[in-house]
Structure 1
């Protein structure tokens, strides 16, 4: 068969189990059908075919599926929503960007709203490995970007590393999140299990924070304002763009989850078409699994962009507190220089009200 963005798929009649299936294949594939098609072809045939999202400009990958569509697709596949969830993992894997390890990881989560979210791993050549974004980190950032209040179920292609099991603890009632690993033998992986069974003696927010402190995915209002509101001069014709990015980054900093260091920060990126992508710094009680604001903004770029490379990022703004004990500027410059050398970065400082 050809690329989904080029032509419809043609399969022998023997492989078509129903007239409805033939009807679906009679028109070019859309992003949702692309991730569902393996469900419509009976095994073992489906195990020998590979499916992916179309990544054309008109049909870009979708990392969020509305609840109504999730229910409809599960019903058409004669599956419950929970049975449907792990079937999306392989398609999520194909959206990963791991140029160093070439090890693709996909995570698919069901939020309390009924929406489904995708997460993938990202790696950045010519940088230390700790700049990488794990699929579970990507997933939670995707939930946060889309104001999803809670993660209920998580299906992932490989067992979460200790880093990610720890990062998941930043969600309230994290031990009750239900997890399924799709790469395990069927007898071991056909049931969701609580996260507490994967990290039984956990260390997390409960050990360091008061009960009323907002956790990840909960509303944050950090009360940050710029130290100076004076108009800054034009720079390479990007004056208006940087001004917009400046306030977008401040908004991201005000939503930052940084209760341990009290050093919230935010980043806003702009692509060549003027579209803005915001990312908030997210801390972990264990410190090292924390996710930087540039990485969070890159997640927004991957989920909200057209599937293009990072070199399309042309401008960036970082907002962080003056005199912060946890600073992002140097590592932000290092990361942006590696992925998009022509991207300009401006840094603005703020303070708590």
Structure 2
């Protein structure tokens, strides 16, 4: 069953939670709390994020690889946004979300300010470097791995990006500045190459739990499924699919494809989950 099941926390992870004054794994740390921690520990935000990476990695769901990756995005205000890799136990290995992708969407969903740094406990793979390159802030992003800092250009020289396909502006935080309605959320979905935006909303007893958006990439393959992002958001918030009774799929009438079949395949694999799917075409 795909639930909120991870390996037990280590002594180091428990110690870090105690330092944060929490008994729950964080999904993000607001700027004010981050600044207070940096002052108390005499650390820069990147060093604080490096210290907290074991908590980010604890969110990972890795039934295939057993390889736990944690990533933390830092915005210009100093807020920290957590992410971890996520795998499905069935189907091809492409059924996976990378920690960097999870952390970046988590930052967007929380309406972050401009992206400043990305801190990861394993070097970003080429797939993730290509995904990051879709962000309008990518050129200014600093990436920290194993206490070493790199400019993004150092990690992806001679890059191929949205401008190569005539898209002048990639993913930016302004897309997520207005999220007060379903239409605003659907507009935040980034689909300039297919014109097929999509959002998924997990609900319980009529109330929203989490939502996610489809994000495309100029190289196509690193485009991120809103379904995998939805699973990630559920995990980051300390929930499981057993907390969900309905998932709404919001898409446009002229969309070339739908993510409803991907969701239905998941539910077919877990028949004990009592979740209904509502496809809402707008």
Q: Give the aligned partner of residue 208 of structure 1.
A: 165
TM-score by length of 1: 0.69
Deviates more, 1:119-128 or 1:139-148: 119-128
Verify: 1:85 aligned to 2:49, yes or no: yes
Residue aligned with 2:118, SS: strand
Return the offset for 1:312. 2.3
Verify: 1:263 aligned to 2:196, yes or no: yes
5 Å-filtered alignment, 1:247-262, equals 250-262=183-195
Q: Give the aligned partner of residue 82 of structure 2.
A: 118
Deviations 1:121-167 (A, max 9, x none): 11111233222111001011101111113221111011111111111
Q: Does the CA contact (< 8 Å) of 1:254 and 1:264 recur in 2? A: yes
5 Å-filtered alignment, 1:24-103, equals 31=17, 33-34=19-20, 54=23, 60-103=24-67
Return the offset for 1:176. 2.3
Residue aligned with 1:130, SS: coil
Among 280, 291, 298, the alignment partner of 2:231 is 298
Deviations 1:88-145 (A, max 9, x none): 1122112211122111000112112220111101111123322211100101110111
Q: Does the CA contact (< 8 Å) of 1:249 and 1:267 recur in 2? A: no
Q: Does the CA contact (< 8 Å) of 2:212 and 2:226 recur in 1? A: yes
Structure 1: which 5+ runs fail to align? Answer: 1-8, 10-27, 36-52, 55-59, 183-189, 222-246
Structure 2: which 5+ runs fail to align? Answer: 1-10
Separation of aligned partners in 2, 1:263 and 1:308: 28
TM-score by length of 2: 0.85
Q: Give the aligned partner of residue 167 of structure 1.
A: 131
Return the offset for 1:308. 3.5
Verify: 1:199 aligned to 2:156, yes or no: yes
5 Å-filtered alignment, 1:234-245, equals none
Q: Give the aligned partner of residue 218 of structure 1.
A: 174
Verify: 1:317 aligned to 2:273, yes or no: no
Return the offset for 1:34. 4.8
Q: Give the aligned partner of residue 6 of structure 2.
A: none
Higher RCO, 1 or 2 (CA under 8 Å, sep at least 6)? 2
Separation of aligned partners in 1, 2:94 and 2:224: 10
Among 156, 159, 168, the alignment partner of 2:120 is 156
The structure with the largest alpha-carbon Rg is 1
Q: CA RMSD in A?
A: 2.7
